[in-house]
């Protein structure tokens, strides 16, 4: 049991194991980038060979980010991170002051200096203090040691980064536990009550602005603005008017409502044998909806709203601004296509069996998304904690100088060695500079050479 | 109709021209080590970079549209920041030997960006946000840092494998980071002394250990920027799409790159893995960045398909 536990902590506490987990996490993420997510199964059969499409669907690669293995790998990363943090990172944080074999440390040097050893020791101490090092002195086996630490506190950067990751994970789990989201398609004038909430939203109106622009590769219609004017009634029962546009969501009782899409709804004038059929008339049909003609096998699909029909050709134009609108209707008989046509507003068509249909008016429809996510603040805090950890770990280099003072003829020998948490190479230049400065500090000032004018001429 | 060329396009041509000449000079400098090439190449690189920032400013002043919201603008910033980061690092660590490669790459990206110039266009509603002004520069700057790291990594790998081919053994002793003093390349030094041209070029660039530290320092600029870029992207998404994270291909591709550099960072904490392995990770990281930048925009559709 003990052996098993040791194996577990050794494996999960190993950075290389963490790297393996990262690699798996990365690969799963990459699959999600390459394979379209959340599409209808037919899409995969169109895009890939049948066996591959089956693999994608069977393994849920079409929705990979919510699969047990995706969530599982993040779980394993958190577990590994926790084990590693408690078993490796925290115990290794602040190494004890001890004597070392200076020459065995790759970054080492020694300087012979003259003077009183006690005085030399003080000067060494002052030298490091003046450069922002934290200095402590110890004696081991009769030898005097000075330890200088820089940015020792920054050893905790790893902990900060790891804590940030854990906080983000906690924030996202709060959404899974307590959050919700959804979308509502609201026809102008209509009121919907939003599930999970005590909110009702009435769409007073929707408008959009689109600008035709001549670019170097031709004319495009650039959307400029989408605006929903709504009356929202929250839990306090007070109706409030508000505007929702892209990048400007509306907050009602902590749930946010976003502008996400728009469309059109249609009203039709429907007659059978010359008599109006109110049951079919008093409805808003969204594009994609069907009108089933009672007592027949016929359905009329409201396939598309065409904002602008080109007056010259009578064909749908690419202009999404409303100017001479029409509806594209498809007639099905017993499920079989029986005809289709672009029907201008107010134009009546015969759809067979004594039925006539006339697009009477169109209404704008706004697609709103809503979301309640009580974990957002935590995720945000976690993200910045993680960032702080990264910056600390990257920019603060905890280093320790080991300085040993041995008596030497007419003075002392200062032997120095340096270690850092990131190996030796990263500190080499700085170490060499420090040694050179120290040497200069102890060298008696040389008299300035006198300029001999006679010699110069 | 305007008959003369707009100021921003003039500046763009100046920048491109300066980069091309500077890259050529510095490339020749890499091979010949004639100092005057460097002394001419550096001011040109700086001039190109300044012209680029002036171009972006001019474009904003002329069109009143934030100039980074399409590939033309973002590639322009990408090139400008790559060169700027390189110049800063080059002054600090004397990296001019790599200047030709970095500036040639920047010029290539810039030239490609110019092919996406569609003239002036207002932003679509989802891009009309102050977040665009924060998020895009951060992300693009992180890409730029990774580009510079990529060039240094490639130089590291060339030197590493060249040394290995000369000394006929793995450069384990020189596996970057193990021991500072062992980071020289004896095979290259010997071959250089015998007049091997390749070895002579490689002998004059920093040691493998120094290159490794340099790569680490540049990644240390890129990764926090990418992290901040993803965070501000999430904040923006929270405001415009309703969720800070939608698993859209662009976001997930950025997450993938972030994971690759997190791998880099963790491998780099280990002596034995520092050096050739982390250099490869940095190369993979930049490939993933390029995939995130272009691959996702051009091949994979998603919420982010604004050609950004
Ligand atoms: C599988 C989970 C993880 C494990 C087991 C793990 C383990 C480690 C270990 C052992 C170190 C080196 C400590 C040292 O020797 O000083 C480290 C460093 C670090 N880790 Fe992690 N880590 C994990 C996940 C993460 C994540 C998700 C992040 C987020 C970015 C992260 C950020 C960092 C940072 C910033 C460092 C410092 C790197 C440096 O100093 O260059 N770690 N990690």
Checking if the pLDDT of B305 tops 60, the result is: no
Q: Give yes or no: residues B102 and B22 share one domain.
A: yes
B230 shares a domain with B278: yes
Spatial separation of the C-alpha atoms in residues B219 and B147, rounded to whole Å: 10
CA A421 to ligand 1: nearest atom:
16
B203 plus B217 within the same structural domain:
yes
Please tell me whether residues B135 and B73 are part of one structural domain: no
pLDDT for residue B300: 60
CB-CB under 8 Å, A181 with B259: no
Please say if the pLDDT value at position A417 is more than 90: yes
Q: How far apart are CA A423 and CA B182, in angstroms?
A: 13
B278 with B159, same domain: the answer is yes
**Could you tell me which chain B residue has the CA closest to the CA of A19?**
B263
Q: What confidence score (pLDDT) does residue B202 get?
A: 87
Co-location of B24 and B49 in the same domain: yes
Comparing C-alpha atoms, which of A391, A31, A26 is closest to residue B226?
A391
State the number of CA atoms in the 13 A half-sphere of B68 facing the CB: 22
Closest atom of ligand 1 relative to the A155 alpha carbon: 16
Q: Is the pLDDT assigned to residue B9 strictly greater than 70?
A: yes
Shortest Cα distance from A160 to chain B (angstroms)?
14
Q: Domain limits at B249?
A: 127-308
Residues B67 and B186 in one domain: no
CB contact under 8 A, B209 and A428: yes
Which of the pair, A454 or B272, is modelled with greater confidence? B272
- Other Cβ atoms less than 10 A from the Cβ of A313: the count is 8
Higher pLDDT, B175 or A292: A292
Q: Cα(B230)–Cα(B226) distance, rounded to whole angstroms?
A: 6
pLDDT for A36 equals 82
DSSP E strand stretches across A151-217:
180-187, 191-193, 200-215
What's the 3-state SS for B150-210? HHHHHHHHHHHHHHHHHHCCCCHHHCCCCCHHHCCCHHHHHHHHCCCHHHHHHHHCCCHHH
Nearest to B242 among A37, A224, A258 (CB): A258
Q: Are residues B182 and B254 in the same domain?
A: yes
pLDDT band at residue B203 using 50, 70 and 90 as cut-offs: confident
Average pLDDT, chain B: 84
Distance from CA of A19 to the nearest CA of B (A): 6
Residue B169: what pLDDT? 55
Q: Is the pLDDT of residue B237 over 90?
A: no
Asked whether residue B299 falls in the same domain as residue B222, the answer is: yes
- Whether residue B1 is found in the same domain as residue B35: yes
pLDDT score recorded for residue B304: 44
Lookup: tokens for B305:
């398909």
The pLDDT of residue B23 is 94
| Ligand 1 contacts CB of residue A101 (under 6 A) | no
Burial environment of residue A137 by CB neighbours within 10 A (0 to 12, 13 to 18, 19 or more): middle
Which of A22, A24, A80, A81 for mutating ligand 1's site (highest number of atoms within 8 Å of CB)?
A: A81
CA distance B220 to B227: 11
Chain B residues touching A226 at Cβ < 8 A: 125
Alpha carbons B76 and B216: distance in angstroms, whole number: 25
Among A334-338, A433-437, B115-119, B243-247, the least confident range = B115-119
Q: Quick count: other Cβ atoms within 10 Å of Cβ B263? A: 23
Using pLDDT thresholds of 50, 70 and 90, give the confidence band for residue B182. very low
| Burial class of residue A200 (count of CB atoms within 10 Å of its CB; 0-12, 13-18, 19+) | middle
**B233 and B89 together in one domain:** no
Closest CB from A29, A248, A423 relative to B271: A423
Is A246 touching B (CB cutoff 8 A)? yes
- Using the beta-carbon criterion (under 8 Å), do B231 and A383 form an inter-chain contact? yes
Full-model pTM: 0.86
Count how many domains chain B has: 2
- pLDDT, tens digit, 9 for 90 and up, residues A73-111: 999 999 998 888 887 777 766 778 888 889 888 899 999
Nearest to B263 among A19, A30, A172 (CB): A19
Residues in chain B, overall count: 308
| pLDDT of B179 strictly over 70 | no
pLDDT tens-place string over residues B275-296: 899 999 999 999 999 988 887 7
Instruction: Answer with the one of B123, B140, B155 that is the final residue of a domain.
Output: B123
Closest CA to B250 of B111, B136, B134: B136
Separation between Cα atoms, residue B233 and residue B239, nearest integer Å = 10
B76: distance to nearest CA of chain A, Å?
18
Picking from B64, B89, B123, the residue at the C-terminal end of a domain is B123
Residue B91, Cβ density class (10 Å: 0-12 exposed, 13-18 middle, ≥19 buried): exposed
pLDDT band at B181 (very low <50, low <70, confident <90, very high): very low
d(CA A103, CA A402): 11
CB contact (8 A) between residue A371 and residue B243? yes
Q: Are residues B45 and B169 in the same domain?
A: no
Nearest CA to ligand 1 atom 42: A162
- The DSSP 8-state label assigned to residue A401 in this structure reads E
Domain boundary among B123, B152, B187: B123
pLDDT at residue B4 is higher than 80: no
**Minimal-distance CA residue to ligand 1 atom 15:** B269
Q: How many residues are there in chain A?
A: 457
Which H or E run includes A56?
A: helix A50-58
Atom of ligand 1 nearest to the CA of A22: 1
Does A55 lie at the interface with B, CB-CB under 8 angstroms? Answer: no
Angle of the A68-84 helix axis to the A15-34 helix axis, nearest 10: 160
Rounded distance, CA A345 to CA A359, Å? 5
CA of A92 to the centre of ligand 1 (A): 13
Is there a contact between A222 and B129 if contact means CB atoms under 8 Å apart?
Answer: no
The complex scores an ipTM of 0.86
CB neighbour burial string for A39-48, b if at least 16 within 10 angstroms, e if fewer? eeeeebeeee
Segment A101-148, tens digit of pLDDT:
898 888 999 998 888 888 888 999 999 999 999 999 998 888 889 999
């Amino acid at each position: 049991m003990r052996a098993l536990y040791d194996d577990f902590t050794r494996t999960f506490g190993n950075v290389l194991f963490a790297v393996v987990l990262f690699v798996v996490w990365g690969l799963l993420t990459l699959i999600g980038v390459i394979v379209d997510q959340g599409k209808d199964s037919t899409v995969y059969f169109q895009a890939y060979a049948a066996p591959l499409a089956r693999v994608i669907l069977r393994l849920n690669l079409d929705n990979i980010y919510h699969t047990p293995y995706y969530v599982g790998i993040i779980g394993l990363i958190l577990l590994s991170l926790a084990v590693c943090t408690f078993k490796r990172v925290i115990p290794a944080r602040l190494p004890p002051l001890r004597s070392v074999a200076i020459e065995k440390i790759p970054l080492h040097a020694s300087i012979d200096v003259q003077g009183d050893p006690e005085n030399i020791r003080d000067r060494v101490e002052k030298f490091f203090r003046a450069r922002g090092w934290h200095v402590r002195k110890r004696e081991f086996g009769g030898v005097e040691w000075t330890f200088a630490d820089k940015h020792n506190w920054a050893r905790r950067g790893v902990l900060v980064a790891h804590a940030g990751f854990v906080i983000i994970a906690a924030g996202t789990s709060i959404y899974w536990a307590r959050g919700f989201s959804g979308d509502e398609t609201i026809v102008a004038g209509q009121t919907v009550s939003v599930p999970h909430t005590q909110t009702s939203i009435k769409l007073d109106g929707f408008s959009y602005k689109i600008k035709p622009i001549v670019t170097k590769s031709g004319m495009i219609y650039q959307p400029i603005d989408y605006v929903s004017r709504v009356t929202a009634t929250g839990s306090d029962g007070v109706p409030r008017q508000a505007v929702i546009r892209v990048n400007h969501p509306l907050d009602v009782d902590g749930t946010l409502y976003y502008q996400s899409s728009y469309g059109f709804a249609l009203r039709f004038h429907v007659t059978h044998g010359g008599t109006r059929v109110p049951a079919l008339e008093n409805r808003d049909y969204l594009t994609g909806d069907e009108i089933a003609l009672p007592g027949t096998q016929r359905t009329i699909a409201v396939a598309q709203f065409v904002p602008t029909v080109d007056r010259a050709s009578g064909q749908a134009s690419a202009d999404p601004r409303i100017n001479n609108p029409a509806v594209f209707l498809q007639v099905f008989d017993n499920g079989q296509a029986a005809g289709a046509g672009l029907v201008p507003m107010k134009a009546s068509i015969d759809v067979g069996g004594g039925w006539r249909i006339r697009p009477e008016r169109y209404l704008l429809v706004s697609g709103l998304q809503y979301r309640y996510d009580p974990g957002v603040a935590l995720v945000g805090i976690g993200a910045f904690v993680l960032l702080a950890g990264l910056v600390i770990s990257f920019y603060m280099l905890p280093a320790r100088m080991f300085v040993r003072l041995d008596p030497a003829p007419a003075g002392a020998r200062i032997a120095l060695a340096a270690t850092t948490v990131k190996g030796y190479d990263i500190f080499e230049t700085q170490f060499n500079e420090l040694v050179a400065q120290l040497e200069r500090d102890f060298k008696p000032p040389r008299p300035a050479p006198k300029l001999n004018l006679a010699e110069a001429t | 109709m305007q008959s003369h060329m707009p100021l921003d396009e003039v500046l763009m041509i100046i920048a491109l021209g300066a980069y091309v000449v500077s890259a050529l000079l510095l490339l020749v400098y890499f091979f010949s080590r004639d100092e005057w090439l460097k002394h001419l190449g550096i001011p040109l690189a700086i001039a190109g970079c300044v012209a680029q920032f002036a171009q972006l400013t001019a474009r904003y002043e002329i069109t009143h549209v934030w100039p980074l919201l399409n590939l033309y603008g973002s590639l322009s910033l990408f090139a400008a920041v790559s060169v700027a980061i390189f110049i800063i690092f080059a002054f600090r660590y004397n990296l001019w030997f790599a200047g030709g490669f970095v500036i040639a790459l920047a010029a290539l990206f810039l030239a490609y960006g110019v092919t996406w110039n569609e003239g002036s266009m207002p932003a679509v509603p989802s891009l009309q946000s102050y977040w665009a002004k924060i998020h895009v520069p951060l992300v693009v700057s992180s890409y730029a840092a990774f580009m510079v790291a990529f060039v240094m990594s490639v130089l590291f790998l060339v030197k590493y494998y060249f040394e290995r081919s000369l000394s006929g053994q793995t450069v384990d002793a020189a596996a970057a980071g193990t021991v500072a003093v062992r980071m020289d390349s004896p095979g290259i030094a010997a071959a250089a002394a015998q007049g091997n041209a390749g070895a002579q070029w490689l002998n004059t660039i920093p040691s493998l250990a120094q290159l490794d530290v340099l790569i680490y320092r540049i990644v240390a600029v890129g990764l926090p920027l990418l992290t901040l870029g993803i965070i501000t992207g999430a904040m923006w998404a929270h405001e415009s799409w309703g969720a800070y994270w939608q698993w859209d291909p662009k976001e997930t591709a950025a997450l993938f790159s972030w994971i690759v550099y997190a791998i880099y960072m963790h491998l780099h904490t280990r002596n034995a893995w520092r050096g050739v392995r982390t250099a490869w990770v940095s190369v993979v990281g930049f490939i993933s960045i390029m995939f995130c930048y272009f691959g996702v925009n051009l091949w994979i559709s998603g919420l982010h398909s604004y050609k950004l």
